[in-house]
Structure 1
């Protein structure tokens, strides 16, 4: 059936200043877009409302979001201490539901807690010793579990640290419950997931409404797993149950069988897109790998050697996959550039190498990228400095801080820029709302009002393109990103005109309606 939309303020998305007032949709695609259409089929009056192409979060963690939506937000302003965290966990819908039901939480940052420390197993045991409890730290790298969770994961004083992670211990050798970095957290996650696959599928299905409410029609799953089940199977089953967003999956390199490799597969709805490598940790966790030490004297954590990164590059190149590399610290980013800059790109339609976060980049790095053979994407998250500026001020020296999230420089570089959330990996109640990232990218203001490197501000249209056209190109969502003729009729209608609202009000913009394939799938 044909639909004609009239009287709109439609951002086409192929440039910073291309707008139209009408479009015609047929068979789920844009048939025509321009001004003053001759109506065909049903006519829908947009009444001057602002329309954007469907938004794309090209770096996020949907499985974690699905867990978080039924978990407890251990973030300010509601949780400001371990005591308040305990009280919040006791109010979880899972509390008291039986020994097989995990109580889950997310988002704590020890620097924001009154005790200025992370919770441990004893703190969580005060909530329950019979139900397993699992809480993600704000960076989604580290986590904490209670004694029951440790028991189910088979973790005790004799358990060795996994490669790339650390099981924190009390003075007597007993695990504290704090699992530092992804490799350690996975010990708890696997125990949790092994018990609740059907629950994981249902959580994914339920999360669909959350994404549509944020206008997100396509997402990049940046923590693809092979164990205890494959992420591809999880998404396939979730889609059967009604999960709506399109998705691309990037599998963690360490879980890919080197003998079998990994082949690209799928279609416009669901794709195996790439390989994910972790070079380091997070700045707020003092584990991002920097050239200069942290105030504590720590140097951060180098998780992947040049030799291992080269193996990942070779696998990606041989299988025509993207390589997505988590690199926050300047030394980690430099290593990625050193290993890849002189290589020919192996993908034609999108960047072969994605540097995820790219938190601290020097002028010299941008110069190297400008003269490199490689085709890069820089996928960054302005919401990080918006929500975590206190940690950045504390852990970075003045010169490092000047290099934080140089969005304008990225935009003007040879690399392609994508904006994203990395949700739920930041201590903010709405970690994947695109409008907080857009607000931060445009105003350079943090939640507390602190201004972060104002010279790196970009315009609203540029920020929107980072969530539409450029996010689609980086993530391989060829049907999306713009509302040009032939593209999927995936679009959002906003409650305000994002292009004219005062910049300080950008964080109040919300999605009024989301449409996919020309059908309304969400209405607020």
Structure 2
């Protein structure tokens, strides 16, 4: 029988505090002095919140909550800042998110400085020079986050572009989508990719006019190169990724992270970091159902072991819409590159694999999160879940559609009927909205990407995610994009798909908590729930919606303990620079730690 996380703790807390002022123990901490947004429809705001042993024991007026003040109670003065429940990650990759602490920043403004191939090359050179000793030790240069849609040349860099940086050290740069990458000649050599290499199932090795691989690798061709290169970093390297990723999530207000499309090794890395006391937040992992069924069966649980649990399965059907590897139901509008007439993208796996994976998860009553971007991929998922529900009955496993960038309105009706929870990616409207309008789906259909408006018109919940490391886990950028749908160029993409600030906040808190079967313990500030909070510089409900992205996360509190606090006066740009190697001395230490681990192992 499926149980909800935290139900026992909720009953215990309710017994302890049957009503305000009824507790016999003093609170550990009382929070007051600023707007408190509870995300609880019954009591949307409060003047004060009391916490005892990491649980919320009172929410209400200052006069009422002060009844729990004792000699040892700490008074947390908000000073006009806003307090909300800690954010719950609807979809991301905590461990791979830590790769940003290892990589040269290849992102375009406002998250980086790469605007053309020349600045990309210079960014790699500068990074390698700053970290020369470590790069020589590890023999690897990684850049993360380039986006051909934002380069002046409107093309992917090639092996020749990267060879201009180095022909001796392997270089791999990762597309911001995480579904493509570019390798220099040395990296291709290590990966064994030659003119004679054939495309792997679900992947493409791009070639020049001479038939020679040009360094650009799609989907499983890319994954097959990335995994061996990262694999040489060993278990200690992945522990470093896990720690750095979780710390980054905390810096953006997340108290629960997700490790999507995980592996046994990634889960073990998270557990090891947690055992060392270095995992600041909860992380729910969803191992790949095509590769890790035995591990899933042995580890899936609705209860945390420390800060880690395996929540179910992850399935990936197609690729990246902005990279033209997502499977559509019609041709791409105006794809940039060498594509045949009528090109619709492609699936990474077969319909039979999709049906088998979904059936297996339903048979075991495991939650399944499925990456489907294009309409064609969503059709495959909808058909598989419909067949599973006909066989097993109405779902109790809360299946999740991840991304659904190009959902048709009839598909939204289908996922509502089938009880599929949509975890959507509204940040695409900011980062790639102009690209989708001009190249992937065209100006008409671009208005309906990430269709949060259609979802809310039907009274459905949804999660709003970042898919980091595809983008920073920037909660306020997510909030802004979900509310305004403003693109980089200033266009508003699909005004009818915008939602209210409160709905957008619920999509960061209580609704993804429900997605993870944790709505009884997280997602809102209510008596009995865990004391997971985020402190913001401004009240999102009180500012001009056009300024939502400018709000800063000042502190993150997990189970009543501060796990992140912004340095005084620190702004988002400084936090961004601290995240990547190049600004941080932390990054240099990370590479050295990996080198030491490799030397020992």
Confirm or deny a common fold (TM above 0.5): yes
Alignment of 1:112-511 (within 5 A): 112-181=150-219, 183-197=220-234, 198-226=236-264, 230-241=265-276, 242-257=278-293, 263-265=299-301, 267-268=303-304, 269-294=307-332, 295-296=334-335, 297-341=342-386, 343-344=388-389, 352-370=398-416, 372=417, 374-393=418-437, 394-413=439-458, 415-426=460-471, 431-478=472-519, 479-511=521-553
**CA distance change for structure 1 residues 147 and 239 in 2, over 3 Å: closer, same or farther?**
farther
Other-structure match for 2:31: 5
- 1:90 equivalent to 2:125? Answer yes
- Contact kept, 8 Å, 1:280 with 1:332, in 2: the verdict is yes
Distance in structure 1 (CA, Å) of the matches to 2:57 and 2:68? 12
2:290 aligns to what SS in structure 1? helix
Distance in structure 1 (CA, Å) of the matches to 2:541 and 2:355? 43
- Contact kept, 8 Å, 2:415 with 2:421, in 1: the verdict is no
Cα deviation, residue 458, structure 1: 0.8
- Contact kept, 8 Å, 1:17 with 1:461, in 2: the verdict is no
Distance in structure 2 (CA, Å) of the matches to 1:521 and 1:403? 38
- Contact kept, 8 Å, 2:263 with 2:288, in 1: the verdict is yes
Distance in structure 2 (CA, Å) of the matches to 1:69 and 1:398? 37
- Contact kept, 8 Å, 1:351 with 1:376, in 2: the verdict is no
- Contact kept, 8 Å, 2:96 with 2:242, in 1: the verdict is no
- Contact kept, 8 Å, 1:95 with 1:103, in 2: the verdict is no
Query: Post-superposition, which runs of at least 4 consecutive aligned residues in structure 1 deviate over 4 A?
Result: 257-263, 345-351
Cα deviation, residue 420, structure 1: 0.7
**CA distance change for structure 1 residues 366 and 270 in 2, over 3 Å: closer, same or farther?**
same
The structure with more radius of gyration: 2
Cα deviation, residue 392, structure 1: 0.2
Other-structure match for 1:24: 50
Distance in structure 1 (CA, Å) of the matches to 2:295 and 2:430? 43
Cα deviation, residue 452, structure 1: 0.5
Can you list the C-alpha shifts for 1:114-151, whole angstroms capped at 9, x where unaligned?
A: 22221122211221222221111121111111222223
**CA distance change for structure 1 residues 403 and 217 in 2, over 3 Å: closer, same or farther?**
same
Distance in structure 2 (CA, Å) of the matches to 1:310 and 1:407? 27
Distance in structure 2 (CA, Å) of the matches to 1:5 and 1:261? 42
Cα deviation, residue 262, structure 1: 6.2
Q: TM-score, normalization: structure 2?
A: 0.81
Cα deviation, residue 16, structure 1: 8.6
**CA distance change for structure 1 residues 509 and 17 in 2, over 3 Å: closer, same or farther?**
farther
1:9 aligns to what SS in structure 2? strand
| Stretch deviating more after TM superposition (79-88 or 96-105) | 96-105
Q: Return the structure number with greater helix share.
A: 2
2:524 aligns to what SS in structure 1? coil
| Stretch deviating more after TM superposition (231-240 or 92-101) | 92-101
- Contact kept, 8 Å, 2:365 with 2:397, in 1: the verdict is no
Cα deviation, residue 17, structure 1: 6.5
Cα deviation, residue 238, structure 1: 2.3
Q: How many residues align?
A: 514
Distance in structure 2 (CA, Å) of the matches to 1:99 and 1:259? 33
- Contact kept, 8 Å, 1:8 with 1:47, in 2: the verdict is yes
Can you list the C-alpha shifts for 1:364-388, whole angstroms capped at 9, x where unaligned?
A: 2233334x3x321100111111111
Instruction: State the Cα RMSD in Å.
Output: 2.4
Cα deviation, residue 260, structure 1: 8.3
1:301 aligns to what SS in structure 2? coil
1:188 aligns to what SS in structure 2? helix
**CA distance change for structure 1 residues 450 and 490 in 2, over 3 Å: closer, same or farther?**
same
1:144 aligns to what SS in structure 2? strand
2:462 aligns to what SS in structure 1? strand
Cα deviation, residue 500, structure 1: 0.2
Distance in structure 2 (CA, Å) of the matches to 1:94 and 1:220? 30
- Contact kept, 8 Å, 1:277 with 1:325, in 2: the verdict is yes
Distance in structure 2 (CA, Å) of the matches to 1:475 and 1:347? 21
**CA distance change for structure 1 residues 257 and 218 in 2, over 3 Å: closer, same or farther?**
closer
Can you list the C-alpha shifts for 1:269-320, whole angstroms capped at 9, x where unaligned?
A: 2111122222222221112211220135311112233321111112212332
Cα deviation, residue 160, structure 1: 3.1
Distance in structure 1 (CA, Å) of the matches to 2:395 and 2:516? 10
Distance in structure 2 (CA, Å) of the matches to 1:327 and 1:399? 21
Distance in structure 2 (CA, Å) of the matches to 1:449 and 1:366? 27
Can you list the C-alpha shifts for 1:481-502, whole angstroms capped at 9, x where unaligned?
A: 1121111111011111111011
Can you list the C-alpha shifts for 1:3-60, whole angstroms capped at 9, x where unaligned?
A: 1223332111223961111111111111111122124222223233211100112211
Contiguous gaps of at least 5 residues in structure 1: none
Can you list the C-alpha shifts for 1:333-353, whole angstroms capped at 9, x where unaligned?
A: 122222213644979997521
Other-structure match for 1:66: 98
Can you list the C-alpha shifts for 1:416-453, whole angstroms capped at 9, x where unaligned?
A: 30011012224xxxx22011111111112112211111
Cα deviation, residue 95, structure 1: 4.2
